[in-house]
Structure 1
Amino acid sequence: MNAQQLFEQIQAKRSFLCVGLDSDITKIPQHLLSTEDPIFEFNKAIVDATAEYAVSYKPNLAFYESLGVAGWISLHKTVRYIRERYPSQFIIADAKRGDIGNTSEMYAKAFFEGFDFDAVTLAPYMGSDTVTPFLKYEGKWSIILALTSNKSAADFQLLEDAANGKKIYEDVITTSAQWGTTDNTMYVVGATKAEMLGDVRQLIPNHFLLVPGVGAQGGSLSEVAKHGMNSQCGLLVNSSRAIIYADTTENFAAAAAKAAREVRDEMDILLKEKGL
């Protein structure tokens, strides 16, 4: 899937919603715990309920890795289910990998061949050889951590480079943008940093941005759109807990659908305001 195809999905659904599958075995509805694969059954129900309103899904791998082999099986089944049932969905491995070249080659093989993800989140701080193995895969995406939404992001990302006066995240963006293209490279910019999205857009006006932090983390969707939307939308806005845990009873899927629909409706308005 290239950037134009992703934009076409956004236009068709009037949505740039990415649903984060941060599926925690301690938080899913209790009645699912008696099933053979509770995490998969939870994900399947969430996906079926929200696929009409979302263009992307983002499993956070930590929630699956924490369960050992069983978690990896649940993850594989989830990706396969989405791929077979909803083939237009853009599936992101929220893995935050970042290692030397030969190790990155194995990670790329795992996520793009073994699991058939469309994209993977990457930490670029070891340099270009952490990312370039992923860029060799046609139609796949590297999503590079740039300006994250966590409280301690400022420890490093906002430090200024004494040589040029730029902040570290700005150096990360301008350097890494030369490694790939707008069809295979995306950047993570947190919704809680919405006012800085304008600065990011000055650096990368045409790249897609993956924006977490809307919903439970308090980010404003309208502010994200105001500062970050470009002529092809250029945004995937992630919401996890506010959608998947909107209800923890047997009505959880219906509640998730309602929450996703409300976000989609707001996104539709924002797209119209931009003339898209």
Structure 2
Amino acid sequence: MTSQEIFAQIKKKASFLCVGLDPDPQRIPKHLLKEKDPVLTFNKIIIDHTIDHAVAYKPNLAFYEAMGPAGLETLAKTLEYLPEEVFTIADAKRGDIGNTSRLYAKAFFEQMNFDAITVAPYMGEDSVGPFLAFDGKWVILLALTSNQGSQDFQLIENKEGKPLYASVLEKSKTWGTTENMMYVVGATRGESIAEVRKLVPEHFLLVPGVGAQGGSLEEVAKYGMNNQCGLLVNSSRGILYASAEKDFGEAAKKEALALQTDMAQLLDSYCK
């Protein structure tokens, strides 16, 4: 999927919403537990109720791997259920060297047919390059995350006063292009998104942290939007667990619609 195709979906739905499909069996509505595959049923209902408002879906691999082989089968069936036009992201945070990265890439891009995968940059270019060798696929590189521990390394400054995340952005943008590399930037960083935009003005950013983590959608758009939108804003818990009752699908739809409505206004304001 090209950036233009992603932008076409953004314009069509007036939305840059990504729904994180992170189903916790302990939190899904209890009435689903009688189903043969409760998580798959949960995912399908979430998709059915959010598909009009979302342009991307992002399953986090941990939630499926924790269920063993059956969880990976659920993931495969979830991907089959998603319409072709939506952008699919494997939130796997892989990052290794040589054949290991190449085989990770084959697993996610050929066997599972994801459009994109999140990758950790710590081991450098030879750990990222194998993922970039697949035409039409995307690497989403961790750059500036929203978790508390991100300050342990990402904000460390070199002798020129440049934080590590800025060095990651500057170096990595020479590995890929605006057509195969995006960056993870946490919504709770606020004005730091503006600094990211100076370094990677044309790349798409995947922005988690809006909703349950307290990030501001308005600030993300103000500092991060470019003329092709350039943003995929993820919401997981705020949509998935809007209700624990039988109306969870409708509750998820209500939350997704609220975000999409705000996104439509922001697109009209910042992305002419």
Structure-1-length-normalised TM-score: 0.97
For residues 215 and 161 of structure 2, the distance between their equivalents in structure 1, rounded to whole angstroms, comes to 28
For residues 219 and 44 of structure 1, the distance between their equivalents in structure 2, rounded to whole angstroms, comes to 27
For residues 133 and 157 of structure 2, the distance between their equivalents in structure 1, rounded to whole angstroms, comes to 32
Q: CA deviation at 1:275?
A: 4.2
Is 2:3–2:179's contact at 8 Å kept on the other side of the alignment?
yes
- What whole-Å deviation, never above 9, does each CA across 1:23-73 have from its counterpart, x for those lacking one? 101000111111111111100100011000000000011111111111111
For residues 80 and 194 of structure 1, the distance between their equivalents in structure 2, rounded to whole angstroms, comes to 36
For residues 247 and 98 of structure 2, the distance between their equivalents in structure 1, rounded to whole angstroms, comes to 46
For residues 22 and 161 of structure 1, the distance between their equivalents in structure 2, rounded to whole angstroms, comes to 36
- What whole-Å deviation, never above 9, does each CA across 1:143-190 have from its counterpart, x for those lacking one? 00000010110100000122x331100010110101010010000000
- Confirm or deny that 1:166 pairs with 2:166: no
For residues 79 and 179 of structure 1, the distance between their equivalents in structure 2, rounded to whole angstroms, comes to 29
Partner of residue 108, structure 1: 105
Q: CA deviation at 1:80?
A: 1.1
Partner of residue 260, structure 1: 256
- What whole-Å deviation, never above 9, does each CA across 1:63-115 have from its counterpart, x for those lacking one? 11111111111111101111xxx111000000000111210001000000110
Percent identity (aligned) = 59
Aligned partner (choices 231, 247, 261) of residue 235 of structure 1: 231
Q: 1:1-276, aligned counterparts within 5 Å?
A: 1-82=1-82, 86-162=83-159, 164-276=160-272
Secondary structure of the corresponding residue to residue 191 of structure 2: helix
Code of the aligned partner of 1:185: M
Moved over 3 A (4+): none
For residues 275 and 231 of structure 1, the distance between their equivalents in structure 2, rounded to whole angstroms, comes to 5
For residues 189 and 152 of structure 1, the distance between their equivalents in structure 2, rounded to whole angstroms, comes to 14
Is 2:205–2:232's contact at 8 Å kept on the other side of the alignment?
yes
Secondary structure of the corresponding residue to residue 131 of structure 1: helix
Code of the aligned partner of 2:91: D
- What whole-Å deviation, never above 9, does each CA across 1:202-258 have from its counterpart, x for those lacking one? 100000000000000000000000000011100000000000110010110011011
Q: Which runs of 5+ in 1 are unaligned?
A: none
For residues 224 and 124 of structure 2, the distance between their equivalents in structure 1, rounded to whole angstroms, comes to 26
- Count of residues in Structure 1 that have an aligned counterpart in Structure 2: 272
For residues 196 and 271 of structure 2, the distance between their equivalents in structure 1, rounded to whole angstroms, comes to 22
Code of the aligned partner of 1:47: I
Secondary structure of the corresponding residue to residue 190 of structure 2: helix
Code of the aligned partner of 2:250: A
For residues 169 and 30 of structure 1, the distance between their equivalents in structure 2, rounded to whole angstroms, comes to 42
Code of the aligned partner of 1:11: K
Secondary structure of the corresponding residue to residue 93 of structure 1: strand
Code of the aligned partner of 1:210: L
For residues 124 and 147 of structure 2, the distance between their equivalents in structure 1, rounded to whole angstroms, comes to 22
